[in-house]
Amino acid sequence: MEPQTFSTRRVGRAGRISAWEAHHERALVGLACVAPRSGEFDATVRSARVGPFDVAHVVATPHAVRRTRAHIVAHDAPGRAIYLTRRGDARLISDEQVLGHGPGSAVVCATDRPFSREFRGGVDEIVIAFSDADAAHLLATEAVPTGRLDVGATATMRLVAGAVHRRVMGRLASSGSSDDDLIDRIRLLLVPGLASTEAGRRSIVLDFVDAHLDDTRLNTASIAARLDLTDRTMRRLFSSAERSLAEEIRMRRLAAALHMLRGTVPIGEIAGRCGFASHPHFSRAFRMHYGCTPREVRSGHPV
């Protein structure tokens, strides 16, 4: 499913809560929304379907939400909703616990059990919703536990949140990555210990590449320094991969450039936004790889 955006600003004030509830149930999981005493409520939900996952970026003013038994009866398949907080503090209340969580943290709610969440200062978070059956099939792991999600490092959460954010903002293709890449990033959250394996570290490195394609100095040494890895570790991570890190950077820059050429970004800006040292360098690299010039693609030449 292509990214879609819902905003309460497009709805009259009297209908904002019901409109938000209806959209949230379609895009993610059914919840009842409780506005603050002032009655003021604004929210924006950018969402997409990625494989078996419903993902979204949610920004809203202070409010609370409740997952009720009525919601559960309507959708009785066991599932999970993961909330990665970007900004703001929240409180999760369930039969098992009352848990506060803030920026850089992640919590998991079982969607076949009642729970509520409160956002007294508003919320900016990434949401990932899925069924237990899909998780067991795709992740080869038992059902994800509820409560605070321990992935070993907040850096992993930030990278996964960034990957989801790029997808729902329609920038996944422009970064050179794909839905499969995003599913691999979600696995980092859900499979214990995966983030510390070679495959997990390689995914983290490639996420960093996607987020910094415009940096002309992007190379093995600069990435290793930013991620606190040694050059030896970086070489090992990509020694058995399909492509070397340098090739990954080049391919992702070219894929991002191709995506922009099919849009409206001026050709003169694309070289800089994709990290090429100059426009001639960009044109040569593009023609060598795709067999045509950037201007020919902009004019409709098939690739």
* Residue 166 belongs to some domain of the structure: no
Sheet of 106-110: strand order equals 4-7, 43-50, 53-60, 123-131, 79-87, 106-110, 147-148
DSSP three-state, residue 7: strand
* Residue 262 belongs to some domain of the structure: yes
pTM: 0.73
Tens digits of residue pLDDT in 93-147? 988 889 888 888 888 888 989 999 999 999 999 999 988 887 776 666 555 666 7
Q: What is the pLDDT of residue 138?
A: 66
Say if residue 219 is in the same domain as residue 142.
no
Q: How many residues does the chain have?
A: 303
Number of structural domains, the chain? 2
**Ranges assigned E (strand) in the chain:** 4-7, 32-34, 43-50, 53-60, 63-67, 79-87, 90-94, 98-101, 106-110, 115-119, 123-131, 147-148
Say if residue 133 is in the same domain as residue 238.
no
* Residue 169 belongs to some domain of the structure: no
What CATH number does the domain containing 10 carry? 2.60.120.10
Last residue of a domain, one of 87, 122, 154: 154
Q: What parts of the chain have a pLDDT lower than 50?
A: 151-152
Q: What is the pLDDT of residue 131?
A: 86
CA–centroid distance for 301 within its chain: 32
* Structural domain range at position 246: 212-298
Say if residue 17 is in the same domain as residue 129.
yes
